Amino acid sequence: MLAGTTASGKTALSLALAGELRARGVAAEIISADSRQVYRGMDIGTAKVTAEERAQVPHHGLDLVDPDQPFSVADYSRHAAAALAGIAERGSVALLVGGTGFYLRAVARGLAVDELPWDDEVRASVEARLAAEGLPALVGELRERAPTRAAAVDLRNPRRVARAVEIARLRGDAPLPEPRGYGRPVLLLGLQVEPPVLRERIRARARAQFDAGLIEETRALAACFDPLLPSFSGIGYAEALAVIEGRLSLEDAIAEDARRNVLFARRQATWFRREPDIRWLDATRDLPIAETAAATLEYLAGQRTADPR
């Protein structure tokens, strides 16, 4: 597993690491753990790997649904489980790479997402209240119905709060099912970047995405899908829409994109600091690709020796 904040260099390292493993005679495949890259057509704004990069290394977890289709962590977990099974059958090493901590935890450590209740009518009611009354109303309901669950949820994330309220309406504040992890050796690696360097990377990437055609990509998507969909709330697309609609200048949109990404990176860093057993790499400097590949193979070999399954 390779975790880290936005713009920390996860994609570049994963591609380089897969190449180094291939040079050592070990095939590798990458599973994206990014909740925005599951949407088809949302390429530039999600920093999705290019077709050329996918030709170098097989990728999973990309382009799974259209922007107007719902997609949950349970959906992702099922897709990742199928991908992992296939990778294991082919005798390859799986690289789970991304910045969506909930996805990474669901796969690497286990979340009993399939055992959590769901109900279409309840979900529609929750979504309607969110649209009509806003996030604070749902947060208040969650704290009243399930204070224990509320303490464990990111109360700034509308999707997470809405799902938690749905569960609370169906089962109250009962403890969640025990998680079931991947069940095979997992080496947990994380990328850290010094804040000033990360902020500069984020600013540079925001400008590069707009230069690469983010506004044109957003305009094409908005012609096919309702721009009020949750998928359009992602950083970059909201700012590009504001340019298209004349609410922001290009320069202001780039600045707002970077500002939101800096705040997002801080939330990601907070999440990952709570995750135990991650081996952190200093991504401010050039990363030791060969050493990382060797450590990966050594770790996996040791685990297979200790557990002959």
pLDDT at 146: 93
Kindly state whether residues 107 and 242 are assigned to the same domain: yes
Kindly state whether residues 241 and 300 are assigned to the same domain: yes
CA neighbor of 104 nearest in space, from 195, 168, 189: 189
pLDDT at 309: 43
194: domain range?
A: 2-113+179-306
pLDDT at 182: 67
pLDDT tens digit sequence for 122-163:
888 998 899 899 999 999 999 999 999 899 888 988 888 998
Among 171, 193, 216, where does a domain finish?
171
CA neighbor of 99 nearest in space, from 3, 235, 199, 206: 3
pLDDT at 242: 97
Q: Assess contact for 215 and 240: CB atoms under 8 A.
A: yes
Kindly state whether residues 152 and 34 are assigned to the same domain: no
pLDDT above 60 for 239: yes
As a whole number, the mean pLDDT across the chain is 89
Kindly state whether residues 93 and 121 are assigned to the same domain: no
Kindly state whether residues 215 and 73 are assigned to the same domain: yes
Kindly state whether residues 248 and 297 are assigned to the same domain: yes
pLDDT at 286: 74
Kindly state whether residues 9 and 89 are assigned to the same domain: yes
Kindly state whether residues 76 and 25 are assigned to the same domain: yes
pLDDT at 163: 86
pLDDT above 90 for 285: no
Name the percent of the chain lying above pLDDT 90: 65
Reading the block at residue 276, the tokens are: 């135990």
H or E stretch at 23: helix 10-23
Report how many domains make up the chain: 2
pLDDT above 80 for 210: yes
pLDDT tens digit sequence for 100-113:
998 998 888 776 55
Kindly state whether residues 41 and 141 are assigned to the same domain: no
